[in-house]
Structure 1
Amino acid sequence: MQKLDGLLSNYIDTIIKFLPEVVTSLFILAVGMFAIKFLKKLANKLFLEKRIDPTFASFLIDILIWGLRILLFVIIASKLGIQTSSFVAIVGAMTLAIGLSLQGSLSNFAGGVLIILFKPFRIGDTIEAQGEIGKVLGIHIFSTQIQTSQNNVVYLPNGILSNGKIKNLSQNNLRKLEINLQTTLLKNTSEFIDKLQASLEQNNLILTQPAPHIYIKDLLDTKITYTVHAWVESSDSTTVTSYILYEAKKISDAL
């Protein structure tokens, strides 16, 4: 019983001894998290005032925040009595283990760096990649966030994205539409082409230079395939595509 009382007394003494360090560590944690949040807002404001590229600014802020969090963790660990040399050894071992188990994440990090450096797209651009088409909302350390036309948010891993094919639909203001139309074999093919050509030339969204053109792409026993080439503003591509399909159907039915 005396031995139990002695052990209990030692535990209580140990708790009392370390209680100030624990309270101080919790205080440092609260102040540190508040400071990191404040520095993030300050960095955002400074980058905005300096007109730094939003993509690059977002990437730098992510690295800064994670660096500050790691530093805060080191400070708290040191305050709790963990030796720095032991901590460095533990962190080194953990880094090696994490690096081996998270090779894909490291690849995504490297891909994010490449995207930032070479800028195949920027925030606000509309891209087509990995079978998805959408507006770029953000470029983060490990992934790129896009919003599709269905209002879905898709996260594309930077590693796969940087090594794959990326089609930037916003990089050029003008876009050349190539639309294939298939109809039954008409008796008067030239009349169909002339009427559709006139309809294209009347549409104010279709550029007159270069002028729109209609070509016969394929001719079968019962069907004929046309290709329509038309230059438009990138933002009008969907509207003009719908217009051309509708006009082709209407003209074909009238012949």
Structure 2
Amino acid sequence: MNIKLWIDKGFEILLDYGPKLIMAFLIWVIGNFVIKLITKGLKSAMKKAKYDISLSKFLSDLLNWSLKILLIIVVLSTVGIETTSFAAILAAAGLAIGLALQGSLGNFAGGVLIMIFKPFKVDDLIEAQGELGIVKEISIFTTKLRGLSNKEIIIPNGSLSNGNIINYNTEGTRRVDLTFGVSYDSDIKETKSILMSVLINHPLVLNDPEPTVNVSELADSSVNFAVRPWCKADDYWTVYFDITENTKIALDKADIEIPYPHQVEIHKQN
């Protein structure tokens, strides 16, 4: 009698929940297939747009898990399980996590903005947040720079995306700003000719834009010349150091004095 009762109860449950379970199973299978197509399409789109690999993986994983959570809720609802409380718990957990990771989420959002607007790319020389360096890596939360003294600089993407950024590579060329002072006894035209000759004879100095040499200041003990050669961005420091050295050699050969501070001692006679 009990066995028959249990069999009847089983058939009743099967008839009641069988169609729902089959429907839930079909929704799960089809849903997973659609999610794979969507995430695959997103990855392909980000690859074509040349998004950072780490950001691309993070976004595709985030979309994948978000859609799977939504799919689980739909499957549970199809079976007949109340999902209102489940959704409320998820919302509360999401809010708590969001508040706890507020700074990290800001950095993540900053990383996304950097990837979308691309104010710089890897190997660019940039100045930001008081730091100067070559971009080594753009990750989800931070950007790594290689400082000019080969030190690693890590800047949070949140502050980086909200601050001023100077990109020295965008235009492809840079102007090297140098100032040289000579004594007041020196001939200005001769000095200008020598300085310009140093610029013209350097193989990395560009002809277009043309280099310039001008008197910039009549200082206390020197006549200062603003020397402005142009070069490719990658050649900046080579040109900077070479022109500085070659100028000193050229001025010495022409017996043009470069003033330096003197200390004068006055002795009083009693």
Counterpart of 2:48 in structure 1 is 52
Counterpart of 2:60 in structure 1 is 64
Does structure 1 residue 185 correspond to structure 2 residue 177? no
- The CA RMSD over aligned residues, in Å, is 3.4
Deviation at 1:71, TM superposition (A): 8.5
Q: Which has the larger displacement, 62-71 or 110-119?
A: 62-71
Q: What does 1:199-210 align with in structure 2 at a 5 Å threshold?
A: 199-210=198-209
Decide whether aligned partners of structure 1 residues 201 and 156 sit closer, same or farther in structure 2, where only a CA change above 3 A counts: same
Deviation at 1:232, TM superposition (A): 0.9
Decide whether aligned partners of structure 1 residues 247 and 185 sit closer, same or farther in structure 2, where only a CA change above 3 A counts: farther
C-alpha separation in 1, matches of 2:44 and 2:201: 47
Q: Which has the larger displacement, 110-119 or 100-109?
A: 100-109
**Percentage identity across aligned positions?**
35
Deviation at 1:205, TM superposition (A): 0.9
Counterpart of 2:4 in structure 1 is none
For residue 58 of structure 1, what is the amino acid of its counterpart? S
Deviation at 1:242, TM superposition (A): 0.7
C-alpha separation in 1, matches of 2:183 and 2:93: 68
Deviation at 1:150, TM superposition (A): 2.7
- String of CA shifts for 1:211-248, please: whole Å, max 9, x gaps: 21111111123122221111111111111111111122
Contact 1:47 1:57 in 2 (8 A): no
Deviation at 1:100, TM superposition (A): 2.6
Decide whether aligned partners of structure 1 residues 69 and 181 sit closer, same or farther in structure 2, where only a CA change above 3 A counts: farther
- String of CA shifts for 1:135-166, please: whole Å, max 9, x gaps: 22332222122222333222211111111111
Does structure 1 residue 113 correspond to structure 2 residue 109? no
> Structure 2 unaligned runs (5+)?
1-35, 72-81, 257-270
Task: Give the secondary-structure state (helix, strand or coil) at the position aligned to 1:113.
Answer: helix
Decide whether aligned partners of structure 1 residues 160 and 90 sit closer, same or farther in structure 2, where only a CA change above 3 A counts: same
Larger Rg: 1 or 2? 2
C-alpha separation in 2, matches of 1:140 and 1:115: 10
Task: Give the secondary-structure state (helix, strand or coil) at the position aligned to 2:225.
Answer: strand
Q: What does 1:3-42 align with in structure 2 at a 5 Å threshold?
A: none
- String of CA shifts for 1:167-226, please: whole Å, max 9, x gaps: 112222222222222344342232222111111111111112222111111112312222
- State how many pairs are aligned: 207
> Structure 1 unaligned runs (5+)?
1-38, 76-82
Q: Which has the larger displacement, 109-118 or 231-240?
A: 109-118
Decide whether aligned partners of structure 1 residues 96 and 223 sit closer, same or farther in structure 2, where only a CA change above 3 A counts: same
C-alpha separation in 2, matches of 1:222 and 1:137: 44
Q: What does 1:73-222 align with in structure 2 at a 5 Å threshold?
A: 88-222=87-221
Q: Which has the larger displacement, 203-212 or 186-195?
A: 186-195
Task: Give the secondary-structure state (helix, strand or coil) at the position aligned to 1:175.
Answer: strand
For residue 143 of structure 1, what is the amino acid of its counterpart? T
Give the TM-score, by structure 1 length. Answer: 0.67
Contact 2:54 2:140 in 1 (8 A): no
Q: Which has the larger displacement, 134-143 or 60-69?
A: 60-69
Counterpart of 1:22 in structure 2 is none
Q: Which has the larger displacement, 237-246 or 179-188?
A: 179-188
- Segments ≥4 residues shifted beyond 3 Å: 53-58, 65-75, 83-91, 182-186, 251-254
Q: Which has the larger displacement, 205-214 or 54-63?
A: 54-63
C-alpha separation in 2, matches of 1:160 and 1:101: 18
